[in-house]
Amino acid sequence: MLRETVEVAVRAAEQLNETLNAFLEIDREGAVRRAAEIEKSSGAHKGSGAGVGGGAGLEGGAHEAVMAGVPVAVKDNICVRGMQASCGSRILGDYHPPYNATVIERLINAGAVVIGKTNCDEFAMGSSNENSAFGPVKNPWDTTRVPGGSSGGSAAAVAAGIVPVALGSDTGGSVRQPASLVGVLGLKPTYGRNSRYGLVAFASSLDQVGIFARNVADVARTLGVIAGRDAHDSTTADVPVPDYGKTLEGNLKGARLGFPTALFGKGLDDEVAGAVKNVVDVYRELGAEIVEVELPHAGYAIAVYYVIATAEASSNLARFDGVRYGFRAEDAPELRQMYRKTREEGFGAEVKRRIMLGTYVLSAGYYDAYYRKAQQVRTLIKNDFLTAFKKCDAIITPTAPTPAFAIGEKVDDPLAMYLNDIYTVTANLAGIPGLSVPCGLSSQRLPIGFQLLGPYWSEATLLKLAHAYQQMRPFTERPPVFA
Amino acid sequence: MPITDADIAKVAQLAQLELAAEELKTFGAQIAEIVAYVEQLNELDTTNVEPALGGLTPEGEKTDSSRADEIAGSLGQKTALAEAPDPASGHFRVPKVL
C-alpha cells in the first residue's frame, strides 16, 4: 500500500514532467526501494492515505513514523544524499552532495520518501522560475504562464497532485509567491524555526526552508517533523516545537486580525484586491475582530531587500569557483582566469546581475550609503511589525500583486520582476512567519492567494487561522494538469 | 551618483566574473536603474537607528550555540574529493597560480 502510493506519485511525476518541467531528477528506483523498506518495517500500518490526487491528508502511520510512505518532492537547492543538487545552475550541474540536509534527515526519519528534486530559479534567485538553467517550470493552471518562483517546481508538483507535500526555500517570498500562483498553501516559518544545514545558501539572514501542501493539516504535520534546534545550524533557536496539528480546530472568537489598508493600493490587481477583501469578510463572519494597522516602511522593503539579499549572495556564491565541486571551465591555464571563466560560463544572467549588485553595494565607498542604510531601514521594518502585533494576532495581505503572468512577460525588466515580492519580502527582513492560503480563482481561472503574517513563533496561530478559513471556504478547484 | 563603465568593470573584477563587453553594458544599465530605485531609502532619516545585522529573533539570540570540543566523524578524503573537477593524489588540483 505504501509502495503503491509512492509508485503512483513517481509515475505522475514522470508523466507530467514533459508538460510541467517541475522535476530535475526523479528517483524511481530509490523511492520504490525506500517505500518497500518502510512497508516491511511498519507492516502493521494500514495504508498511508497519503494524498496523491484528491487532496487527502497524511493520515495513518505510527507515532514514530508520522509520515510513513508519504511521497515528498524537494527543491534542488536542498541536499539529499544520493541525489543531485544543481540549484537550477549549470555551475553545480550534476553535483551530488555527500550528506542530507537536517530537514531531509528528519523527514526520512519520519518515514517520508523523497521521490525527486524540483526545478527552481538558479540559486533561488527569481520570481518566475525562468532563471533555471534547465528551462522554466510551467503553471499547471495554464502552461503558458509561470508558476512563480523561485520554488516553482515544488509548487507545481503539489498543485498538480503529484505529491501531497514539497519543500522549498523562501528568501523573499520564494515559497509563498509560487504557492499563491498555483493555488496551494505555502509556509515560510520564523527565522530559526527550521535548520538551514544542507540548504545551499543564498542570503543567510533571510533564507528559511518552507513547506507546500494542499491542506493545512499536512503543512502542520510536516512542520512538526522538520522544525527545531539543530546543532549544525547555530541560527536555529532553542524554542519548543508544539504539536501543530493539535491546535488547528477551535473558533476565532476574540482573534484580532490586522488589515493594512495602505497596502491595498497602487500596483495591486483589482481581482486580487477584491478576493483578499472577501477573505477579511469571512474572518469577520468567523468571529474575528478586524483592526486597522499601519506598516509605514513596507514600501521600502524591496529596496532594502535587494541590497541585503544581493550583498549576502555575493559573499555566499564566492565559493563556486571550479575547485572543490561542480563545473570547471576548460582552456584556462591560470588560476584566476579559471575562476573567472568558470563563473562566467557557470552562472546565468540573473545570478551574475545579483552578484554584481551585491559586490557594488559592499564595495569601498558605498558600504555606508547602501548596505548600512538598508540594514537600518530593516530595523524600521521590524519595528513596524512589533508595533502592529501589539494590536493584532496576525496581519492579512495579498501574497502577490497579480495572478500568474505569462512566461517571458517580465524577463527583460529585472526591477518589474522584483516588485512581485512586495508583499512577501517584509517577513524575511523581519524574520517573522508568513503563510499563503488559496482564496479563489481570477476571471481567467488563475489562483489567487492571501497571506497571513504573524509574530515570531506564531506558526500555530497562522495554521489555525488558515484552517478556519479553509473550513468555511474550501479551495476545491483543480488545475487542468492534475495527476 | 552615476555609475560609469569603469565602475562596472571594477565590480566584475572584484566579483571574479569575466563578463563580455555586451554583458557589462546590459548589467551597467540595469544596475544603475536598481541602484536609483534603492536610493529612495535616503528619504528616511535613520540617524539614531541601529542596523539590523543578521536575522535572529530575540529567542535566537538567546540560544547558546556553543558545544563541547570533541572529536567527531568527518567526510574523509575520498568522499570529500569525489565531486572535485580535477582531484589528484588526494588533493584538489588547480591550474598554476603564478
Interchain contact A202–B (C-beta under 8 A): no
What integer pLDDT is reported at residue A65 of this predicted model? 83
Q: Is B96 a domain residue?
A: no
Write out the H or E segment, with its range, that includes residue A19: helix A2-20
Q: What share of chain A is helix, strand, coil (3-state, %, to 5)?
A: 40, 15, 45
pLDDT > 80? residue A56: no
With a pLDDT cut of 70, the percent of chain B lying above it is: 99
- Taking the Cβ of residue A327 and every Cβ of chain B, the question of whether any pair is shorter than 8 Å is answered with yes
- Output the average pLDDT for chain B: 93
Is A174 considered catalytic here?
A: yes
Residue B19 lies in a domain: yes
Q: Are A71 and A178 in contact (CB under 8 A)?
A: no
What does the pLDDT read at residue B1? 62
Given a cut of 80, whether residue A53 has pLDDT beyond it is no
A57 vs A219, A460, A465, CA distance in Å?
Answer: 10, 18, 18
Domain count, chain B: 1
Q: What is the CATH number of the domain that holds B15?
A: 1.10.20
**A to B CB pairs, distance under 8 Å:** 187
**Domain-located, residue B41:** yes
Interface predicted TM-score of the whole assembly (ipTM), two decimals: 0.96
Residues of A in contact with B77 (CB under 8 A): none
* Rg (alpha carbons) of chain A, rounded to whole number: 21
Domain CATH number, residue A27: 3.90.1300.10
Percent of chain A with pLDDT strictly greater than 90? 90
Residue B56 lies in a domain: no
A372 touches B: beta carbon within 8 Å? yes
Q: Nearest-CA residue of chain A relative to B31? A: A357
Q: Which residues of A252-284 are buried (b: 16+ CB within 10 A; e: fewer)?
A: beebebbbbeebeeeebeebbbebbeebeeebe
- pLDDT at position A90 over 60: yes
Confidence of residue A40 (pLDDT cuts 50, 70, 90): confident
- Per-residue confidence band for B29, with pLDDT thresholds at 50, 70 and 90: very high
Instruction: Kindly state whether residue B11 falls inside one of the protein's structural domains.
Output: yes
| pLDDT reported for residue B67 | 87
| pLDDT (mean) for A53-66 | 48
Residues of A whose CB is below 8 A from B58: 456
Q: Which residues of A86-104 are buried (b: 16+ CB within 10 A; e: fewer)?
A: bbbbbbbeebbbeebbbbb
Residues 6+ apart with CB under 8 A from A166: A72, A73, A74, A75, A118, A151, A154, A155, A157, A158, A211, A212, A213
A86, A174, A195, A314: which one is catalytic?
A174
User: 3-state DSSP call for residue B91?
Assistant: strand
Q: Which positions ≥6 away from A242 have C-beta within 8 Å?
A: A224, A460
Q: If pLDDT is split at 50, 70 and 90, which confidence band does A1 have?
A: confident
The dihedral built from the CA positions of residue A299, A303, A304 and A306, taken in this order, carries a sign that is positive
- Per-residue DSSP letters for A136-204? PPPBTTBTTB---SSSHHHHHHHHTTS-SEEEEEESSSTTHHHHHHHTSEEEEPPTTTB--TTBPPSST
Q: Which pLDDT belongs to residue A43?
A: 58
User: Is cis: bond before A150, omega within 30 of 0?
Assistant: yes
- Per DSSP, the residues of A417-479 read HHGGGTTTHHHHHHT--EEEEEEEE-TTS-EEEEEEE-STT-HHHHHHHHHHHHHHS------
DSSP B2: P
Interface contact A212, partner B, CB < 8 A: no
- Cα–Cα distance measured from residue A126 to residue A148, given in angstroms and rounded to the nearest whole number: 8
Annotated catalytic, A75?
A: yes
Q: In the prediction, which pLDDT does A48 show? A: 43
Question: What average pLDDT does this structure show over A355-375?
Answer: 94
**Could you give the residue ranges of the DSSP H alpha helices within chain B?**
5-14, 21-38, 58-62, 77-81
Q: Do A231 and B83 touch (CB under 8 A)?
A: no
Least confident of A3-7, A39-43, A390-394: A39-43
Using one digit for the tens of pLDDT, what is the confidence trace for A247-271? 999 999 999 999 999 999 888 999 9
- How many domains, in total, are found in chain A? 1
Query: Looking at the domain assignment, is residue B7 inside a domain?
Result: yes
Please give the pLDDT value at position B58: 96
Structural domain harbouring B40 = 1-45
Which residues of chain A neighbour B80 with C-beta distances below 8 Å?
98
Spot the catalytic one: A150, A151, A154, A442.
A150
Residue B25 lies in a domain: yes
In-domain check, residue A425: no
Query: DSSP assignment, residue A406?
Result: B
Strand partners, A398: A450
For the cut 60, the answer to whether the pLDDT of residue A59 exceeds it is: no
What is the domain extent for residue A155? Answer: 2-247
Q: What is the dihedral of CA B88, B93, B96, B97, to 10 degrees?
A: -140
CA angle (A36, A42, A44) in 5-degree steps: 120
In the predicted model, is pLDDT for residue A454 greater than 50?
yes
CA A324 to chain B, closest CA, distance in angstroms equals 5
Query: Percentage of chain A surpassing pLDDT 70?
Result: 95
pLDDT tens column, A138-162 = 999 999 999 999 999 999 999 999 9
Between helix A2-20 and helix A152-159 the angle, nearest 10°, is 120
Q: Is A41 a catalytic residue?
A: no
Q: Is the pLDDT of residue A47 over 80?
A: no
**pLDDT for A376 beyond 50:** yes
Say what the pLDDT of residue A57 is: 41
pLDDT at position A64? 52
Mean pLDDT for A35-57 is: 58
Residue A114 parent element (H or E): strand A113-118
Q: Is any Cβ of chain B less than 8 angstroms from the Cβ of A373?
A: yes
| CB < 8 Å from B in window 1-60 of A | none
pLDDT band, residue A44 (cuts 50/70/90): very low
State the DSSP string of B3-26: PPHHHHHHHHHHTT----HHHHHH
Percentages helix, strand, coil for chain B (3-state, rounded to 5) are: 45, 5, 50
User: What is A32-96 written as a DSSP string?
Assistant: HHHHHHHHHHTTT-------SSTT-----S-GGGTTTT-EEEEETTB--TTS---TT-TTTTT--
* B95/A337 touch (CB, cutoff 8 Å), yes or no: yes
Q: Does any domain span residue B30?
A: yes
CB atoms under 10 Å from CB of A395, counted, come to 26
**In a mutagenesis test of the B interface, which of A230, A360, A362 is the best target, namely the one with the most B β-carbons within 10 Å?**
A360
Give the pLDDT mean for B7-32: 94
* Site from A208, A305, A377 to mutate, B interface, most B CB atoms within 10 angstroms: A377
**pLDDT classification of B18: cutoffs 50, 70, 90:** very high
Interior angle at CA A439, CA A103 and CA A406, nearest 5: 80
CB contact set of A395 (below 8 Å; sequence gap of 6+): A257, A258, A259, A260, A293, A295, A385, A388, A389, A452, A453, A454
pLDDT exceeds 90 at position A45:
no
Chain mean pLDDT for chain A? 94
